[in-house]
Amino acid sequence: MQVTFSAAALAKSGAIVIPLFEDGKKPKAFDAVDEKTGGALTRALKAADFKAKKGKLLEIVSPAGVSNARVIVVGAGASKDFGALDAEALGGAATARLLVTRDKAALFALDGFSAKKVDDGELAARIAHGARMRTYRFDKYRTKEEQEEKPVLAKIAVYTPAAGAKAAYAVHEKIGDGVFLTRDLVSEPANVLYPDSFAKRCQKLADLGVKVTVLGEAQMKKLGMGSLLGVGHGSDRESKLVAMEWMGGKKGDAPVAFVGKGVTFDTGGISLKPAPGMGDMKWDMGGAGAVTGAIAALAGRKAKANVVGVIGLVENMPDGKAQRPGDVVKSMSGQTIEVLNTDAEGRLVLADALWWTQETYKPKAVIDLATLTGAIIISLAHEFAGMFTKDDKLSKQLEKAGEEVGDLLWRMPLTKAHDEMIKSDIADMQNIGGKGGGSSTAAAFLGRFIQDGVPWAHLDIAGMAWNEKDKPTIPKGGSGYGVRLLDQFVRENFEG
């Protein structure tokens, strides 16, 4: 998608998009187009009783006086409440309509459109960013799609006299590239994206200046990663551990570390999942996808911070070699784990990935992301990711970053009582607790692999990695959740 910015005259072809606040004050762009069309926009607003509520659209097709195919007026709601995320949603809502109109180009006419909460340049950039985010499609495997069903929108122009819009968008574009990468990874089928092929995609980040290290099973075995390796025993695909280093900050400074669960397909292993819905388990690597996309975004925009992303990549399959319920494995930390349920495998992968990350990089903070439990969806639906941490400062930093970019978090309980629930009769711990508090006991398990004094938070993103329906800036499918959250967290707390 080509996105351009200009203060030149309005385009004479394609569609024109004009935002409008519900307070009745119309921007210069509206008045200009209304005059050219002999008042067609004003008449249409009156006839439709259009109130400019947030996200509502009014379409005027082939208006007289201009050669444009259509004019789309987009409701922006109350001007006093309009912020950066509202601008993105506005761009996305208009673009959702443009994708079905067969217009090849569209112009967002923003002259005179201003909001108190965000300056005009950033406002224009956010509208363009939201528009681009809505254009995402994962259609590489469609071979017989009807021609009229394929969107043809290829160019978005933003008409604004505001200074700084182009420069602001350039940063958002790099972050958007990271989001698109994560959406691609989460959307790929498991016969295409498996540990080795995932690792190879990570290696492509070297083009952005990222140092990528890949460990195979022999190396992990020498390191004592029995917890991670046990999950992949039933698969013909070799497990991998990938580290991606972006060192854009001060030389020698400890990095902040992001660790992701990368179960490229999860059958549940011997504790086999029910068949209905198992196909969704191709996105059980959503945490690893988010970490990879975040590193791509940080490297793309040349973030002035030291950041490392580590992902544990495995495939959990039932087989004669697969680990069994009741097996005991030894983690890299030296702690032993009684595996009572082989479908509670993500925490086993993260246990060794977290320990290796701390031993290797001595990070100043560790954040892990994982599609870890169905229980978090019962608690928070698909509105928030669950955040588990005992560090109040880290909690506030992450929550604020999430609110800034729309990747929302809700802090969940993590107490000594939850840790007591994973005590084992024959090992240091068991990998599941009782029937209740499944998300918290999973977090308590991970907490046993965090070294003393290391700030740590666990984000359970099971309800956020995949969308079952369209949203203004996120089409149905892989959401890319976590990329912007991690980027904003770094921007606000680790860049000078």
Q: What confidence tens digit (pLDDT) does each residue in 283-335 have?
A: 999 999 999 999 999 999 999 999 999 999 999 999 999 999 999 999 999 99
- CATH, domain 174-493, list 3.40.50.12500, 3.30.470.20, 3.40.50.1220, 3.40.630.10: 3.40.630.10
Give me the active site residues, please.
273, 347
Please state the domain extents for the chain: 2-163, 174-493
| Chain-centre distance for alpha carbon 490 | 15
Q: What confidence tens digit (pLDDT) does each residue in 88-132 have?
A: 999 999 999 999 988 899 999 999 999 999 999 999 999 999 999
The span from the CA of 248 to the CA of 46, in Å, is 54
Sign for the pseudo-dihedral over CA of 1, 280, 188, 339: positive
Q: What confidence tens digit (pLDDT) does each residue in 424-441 have?
A: 999 999 999 988 999 999
Three-state SS for 80-140 is HHCCHHHHHHHHHHHHHHHCCCCCCEEEEECCCCCECCECHHHHHHHHHHHHHHHCCCCCC
The span from the CA of 301 to the CA of 28, in Å, is 34
Q: Are strands 385-388 and 456-460 parallel, antiparallel or unpaired?
A: antiparallel
The span from the CA of 148 to the CA of 170, in Å, is 32
DSSP 206: G
496, pLDDT greater than 80: no
49 Ramachandran zone, left/alpha/beta (phi>0; psi -120 to 50):
left
CATH number of 2-163: 3.40.220.10
69, pLDDT greater than 90: no
Tabulate helix, strand, coil % of the chain (nearest 5): 40, 20, 40
Q: Provide the whole-model pTM.
A: 0.96
Among 393, 251, 231, CA closest to 322: 231
Check if the beta carbon of residue 346 is closer than 8 Å to that of residue 261.
yes
